[in-house]
Amino acid sequence: MSNDLPDRLRASAEEFEPDTERMWNRVASGMAEPDAVAAEPVRRRTRIPHLAAATGAIMVLIGAIVFVNYGLNPDVEQVPAGPGPTSQSASPEQTEDAVAPSERPEPVDEVDYLTAGARINGNDNDYWSQSEVTIQADEPVTELTVELHVVIGADVEYTGSWTTSDQYFDPADVFEQDGYLVFRWTLIEGQTMQPGEYILSGQYNHGNGAREVDGDFFIVESVADSGEGTIVGDVEPAT
């Protein structure tokens, strides 16, 4: 194929100006002729195919012109068939409104074989604090989840977490929920936590001044051979 064929086709397509009135007059004339020659059945049988062929040729010509224009001019704007489904996602600016913390659950102590409490570590300062959940198990524990909820307030920002026994706990999942910064530790699947004392700590920056613990709380859910239960309590200030 000649290398200049696309350019020649494009030039021909751009210069072509079909005489649509003349073409449609020919089509109308051809459609009217069968009645005028009704007495000549042989000729009528041959004119109809000729008319169809002429009409088909015209349509093919028009289609070719359209094809050449669109095929050789890819920048021609395509008109969409109609609106399709759309999805909208809120921008960060739309989802960063301050969220008031939800109401803290009432204190609960349903576990006989385990005790738990939480307080601010005394080594905190006006810009940083460490809240510690301490649990004491009196028998082996097969399932355990510990959550520390810290009211986000002003400028609260996660800085780290740790436990005194990495062999039992996965790294903390840390997320924001209902106005709280939440630290969640889970007993590693397949592990059995032996009786003893364990500390789980969440660390965070906060606004200028001593950390106010009003609203902070913890939740412990455990399962052992003697049963399952939940402990909910307040986080106490540093001593």
Domain harbouring 207, CATH code: 2.60.40.690
- Looking at residue 236, its pLDDT comes to 96
Same domain, 112 and 30: no
Evaluate whether residue 82 is within a structural domain.
Answer: no
Same domain, 21 and 127: no
Same domain, 43 and 153: no
Same domain, 168 and 229: yes
- Looking at residue 218, its pLDDT comes to 98
Average confidence (pLDDT) over 182-200: 98
Evaluate whether residue 80 is within a structural domain.
Answer: no
CA distance 115 to 89: 44
SS3 27: helix
% of the chain at pLDDT higher than 70: 59
Most confident among 47-61, 79-93, 131-145 (mean pLDDT): 131-145
pTM as predicted: 0.59
Residue 186 has pLDDT above 80, yes or no: yes
Same domain, 13 and 131: no
The number of domains in the chain is 2
β-sheet bridge partners, residue 114: 137
Same domain, 138 and 57: no
Same domain, 65 and 159: no
- Looking at residue 228, its pLDDT comes to 96
* Under 8 Å between Cβ of 206 and 127: yes
Alpha helices in 73-120 (DSSP H): 92-95
Residue 162 has pLDDT above 70, yes or no: yes
Range of the domain at 227: 104-236
Residue 60 has pLDDT above 70, yes or no: no
* Under 8 Å between Cβ of 172 and 202: yes
Same domain, 10 and 111: no
Structure tokens at 212: 């106010």
Same domain, 136 and 67: no
The residues near 119 (Cβ < 8 Å, ≥ 6 apart) are: 131, 132, 235, 236, 237, 238, 239
Same domain, 113 and 202: yes
CA distance 217 to 215: 6
Who has greater pLDDT, 7 or 44?
7
Evaluate whether residue 127 is within a structural domain.
Answer: yes
Who has greater pLDDT, 195 or 43?
195
- Looking at residue 39, its pLDDT comes to 36
Evaluate whether residue 83 is within a structural domain.
Answer: no
Residue 63 has pLDDT above 50, yes or no: no
Greatest extent of the chain over all pairs of C-alpha atoms, in Å: 118
| Burial profile 147-174: b = 16 or more Cβ within 10 angstroms, e = fewer | bbbbbbbeebebeebbbeeeebbeebee
Tell me which residue of 193, 194, 211 sits closest to 202, measured CA to CA.
211
At 43, is the pLDDT very low, low, confident or very high (cuts 50, 70, 90)?
Answer: very low
Evaluate whether residue 93 is within a structural domain.
Answer: no
At 14, is the pLDDT very low, low, confident or very high (cuts 50, 70, 90)?
Answer: low
Residue 53 has pLDDT above 70, yes or no: no
- Looking at residue 158, its pLDDT comes to 96
Structure tokens at 86: 């759309």
pLDDT tens digits, one per residue of 90-142: 222 333 444 678 788 899 999 999 999 999 999 999 999 999 999 999 999 99
- Looking at residue 15, its pLDDT comes to 58
Same domain, 68 and 24: yes
Residue 87 has pLDDT above 70, yes or no: no
- Looking at residue 150, its pLDDT comes to 97
Evaluate whether residue 97 is within a structural domain.
Answer: no
Same domain, 114 and 182: yes
CA distance 27 to 31: 6
CA distance 162 to 169: 10
H or E element that contains 21: helix 20-36
